[in-house]
Structure 1
């Protein structure tokens, strides 16, 4: 299973690199390793996702109010934390 996960990760990085979102760089102290670093395009993508998430959260606050949104956020965060304790791959909220 670890081999499959590693292969999937390598394939994902290959795809992200081919699309210009990341680049591989030499590791400063380990010649066997490579660093995967966001490119300018990758940083722009992350910034856009953050902005869209913030817009969505602002809209939810408009629709249900600050207190209900805070309760929902707390509940979803608790759910994500609980799921992470029961699974090898952690579930993390985007916010």
Structure 2
């Protein structure tokens, strides 16, 4: 029982460290052949959105491209998280709250 509690305490500590590391990582989601870019940190916080002026007048295309770019960035963050979790020795497929 105490071993499980120690493991959970260690895991929580490592998760906190990992969140700090991920905050310093950045991924870029792209859409519309690079005309829409979403920059996101490793904790899924949007840092920047860039839109090519050419798309501004094309409302539907812009909406679809924004959704695609956000989804691309989120997928890249999930891959980054999985990679970092492996470095910490956390088995794949483990869903950690807040991560």
The TM tier, using the shorter chain, reads 0.3 to 0.5
Structure with bigger strand share is: 2
Work out which of the two has the higher radius of gyration on C-alpha atoms and give 1 or 2.
1
